[in-house]
Amino acid sequence: MFFDLAGRKVVVAGDGLAADRRAETARSAGANVVRLAATATAADFRGAAAAFIATGTLEGDTALQRAAKAAGVPVNVADRPALCDFILPAIVDRDGVVVAISTGGASPTLASILRGRIEAALPERIGALAKLAKTFRAQANALIPDPARRRGFWRRLVEGPAARLALAGDEAGARRVALGELDAVRRRLSPVGIAHIVGAGPGDPDLLTLRAAQLLQEADAILHDELVPAAILGRARRDAELVSVGKRAGGKERGSAGWAQAEIEAELVRRVLAGQTVVRLKAGDPFIFGRGGEEVDALRAAGLPVSVVPGITAALACAASAGIPLTHRRFASAVTFVTGHGAEGREAAWPALAAQVGEKGGHTIAIYMGATEASAVRDRLLDAGMDPATPVAIVENGTRPDERVSVGQLSDLARLAAIHTRGEAGPSLIIVGEVAGLAAAAGQPLLAEVS
Ligand code: SAH
């Protein structure tokens, strides 16, 4: 039972922490809280919606419990389940969406552990979703007389594109989509779906964001890069359609299974128009060397709903995994993410970057897609005057079971990179700058023996 206490008299008898907490809880539910001493009588309880008793002694609790019962008021006695008419559940309260957990008084600790798990599983903005539903409640119930269609509308509202936008913080967008859907149901049109451009992180499934994991469970179809490993695709809903669009590291090659960027965008639009919830799953973060921006543009141009879910980008993941702080009070006050593909071209800003690395305060360069062009990268940096002894690290398959890290000097970069580009090599990230010398692989082992 969720009991409305707004404006009602609620008695709290006794003092101490337990009584204070209960008074606070009742007050936050809008109750008119009356504090009583341990000597209260039945008359003091009369007219109350509920009574909380916490005197600390069995005699005190029992006497007050009797007084409250005599006045016909439901009672809760702190830590004495046998004397309670009702108990206080552990609650998760997200802006009015409330989950209550009870173990029947058996174990408050278990209840609080469960609360923690539910907290983690519930989207942070679930309250905004409830608010959205409330906004449309009267209107939808009036406009859709058929109960089955109405149920369909509500399910879609709380699970579909409008919900996703509300959960992502775009309340205006959510209302717009919901209005469109209401109109479509009324006119018996089939509503459109939604695309989520989702970062899958570096490869370790534990490094997915909570939202990415939720969306993998909701998607009708998942269009994924070649770089996204099976361990992550395994988190998808069982009957989700998995489509490899086959873009490899670098995104340039178009193998037999590879799709051109325009083909991927057209496929996203086609599926969303057909009503699907589509996840476009990209390695790392979709907006870091991921062409996520172009896909968002294509969907927006078609007037279709789209959300973007960030992911842990390779530079952050590889640095963490190898024990390299990208900034460091002593060694680096800035970091730049750059693609190695520009190393051959004239336009790349390598000279300026190289100069910054040597500057006072220091600078770190994280180079994506650079392993196959390592000699060009090294030449650009040396030409620009960088010290050949500058530490470099290469992290291959960062955060995955087959991660390999090499550490050396800039002058060695091409030789080091050769190790990570032979045969079945995975994606590699190069880190240049003093901090690369702090890599775990360069110093002590991460695990110390305890004697
Ligand atoms: N959007 C991705 C980058 C795509 S570009 C992100 O934010 O991480 C592809 C490049 O990313 C690869 O060439 C490699 O340099 C880097 N990369 C991606 N995953 C990696 C991993 N697990 N380990 C090392 N480098 C990785």
Q: What is the DSSP string of 326-388?
A: SSBTTTBS-EEEEEGGGGGSSS--HHHHHHHHHSTT--EEEEET-GGGHHHHHHHHHHTT--T
Using DSSP's 3-state secondary structure scheme, residue 177 falls into helix
Question: How buried is 359 (Cβ within 10 angstroms: 0-12 exposed, 13-18 middle, 19+ buried)?
Answer: exposed
pLDDT band at 313 (very low <50, low <70, confident <90, very high): very high
Residue 134: partners with Cβ closer than 8 Å, 6 or more residues away: none
Predicted confidence (pLDDT) at residue 443 exceeds the cutoff of 70: no
- The token duo for 303 is 């007037």
pLDDT of residue 346: 57
pLDDT of residue 424: 83
Q: How many CA atoms lie within 13 A of 278 on its CB side?
A: 29
pLDDT of residue 8: 97
Atom of ligand 1 nearest to the CA of 286: 1
pLDDT band at 150 (very low <50, low <70, confident <90, very high): confident
Using DSSP's 3-state secondary structure scheme, residue 273 falls into helix
Atom of ligand 1 nearest to the CA of 311: 7
The reply to whether 247 belongs to the active site is yes
Q: How far is Cα 394 from Cα 406, in angstroms, rounded to an integer?
A: 5
Q: Cα 266–270–273 angle (5° rounding)?
A: 140
Mean pLDDT of 393-416: 95
DSSP conformational letter for 201: B
Whole-prediction pTM value?
A: 0.74
Atom of ligand 1 nearest to the CA of 292: 1
Stronger pLDDT, 358 or 354, i.e. the higher one? 354
Q: How far apart are the CA of 321 and the centre of ligand 1, in A?
A: 14
pLDDT band at 449 (very low <50, low <70, confident <90, very high): low
398 ligand 1 Cβ < 6 A: yes
Q: 59-70: per-residue pLDDT in tens? A: 999 999 999 999
Q: Which helix (H) or strand (E) holds 142?
A: helix 126-143
Mean pLDDT of 7-29: 94
Q: How far apart are the CA of 49 and the centre of ligand 1, in A?
A: 60
pLDDT of residue 7: 97
pLDDT of residue 62: 96
Which of 61, 170, 225, 285 is catalytic? The answer is: 225
395 ligand 1 Cβ < 6 A: yes
Q: 218-260: per-residue pLDDT in tens? A: 899 999 999 899 999 999 999 999 999 985 544 444 445 689 9
pLDDT of residue 345: 63
User: Which residue reads 């959205």 in tokens?
Assistant: 132
Which of 9, 170, 247, 282 is catalytic? The answer is: 247
Paired residues of 75 in beta bridges: 51
If you average pLDDT over every residue of the chain, what do you get?
A: 90
Using DSSP's 3-state secondary structure scheme, residue 308 falls into strand
pLDDT band at 144 (very low <50, low <70, confident <90, very high): confident
Predicted confidence (pLDDT) at residue 375 exceeds the cutoff of 60: yes
Choose which residue among 204, 369, 395 to substitute to test ligand 1 binding: the one with the highest number of ligand atoms within 8 A of its C-beta: 369
Farthest CA pair distance, the chain:
91
Residue 324: partners with Cβ closer than 8 Å, 6 or more residues away: 318, 393, 431, 435, 436, 438, 439
Q: How far is Cα 60 from Cα 80, in angstroms, rounded to an integer?
A: 12
Stronger pLDDT, 425 or 430, i.e. the higher one? 430
pLDDT of residue 385: 87
pLDDT of residue 451: 46
Q: 256-271: string of b/e by CB count within 10 Å (b at 16+)?
A: eebbeeeebbebbbeb
pLDDT band at 85 (very low <50, low <70, confident <90, very high): very high
- The token duo for 29 is 């539910």
292 ligand 1 Cβ < 6 A: no
Mean pLDDT of 293-320: 96
Q: Would you say how long the chain is, in residues? A: 451
Q: Which region holds residue 406: left if phi is over 0, alpha if psi is between -120 and 50, else beta? A: beta
pLDDT of residue 255: 47
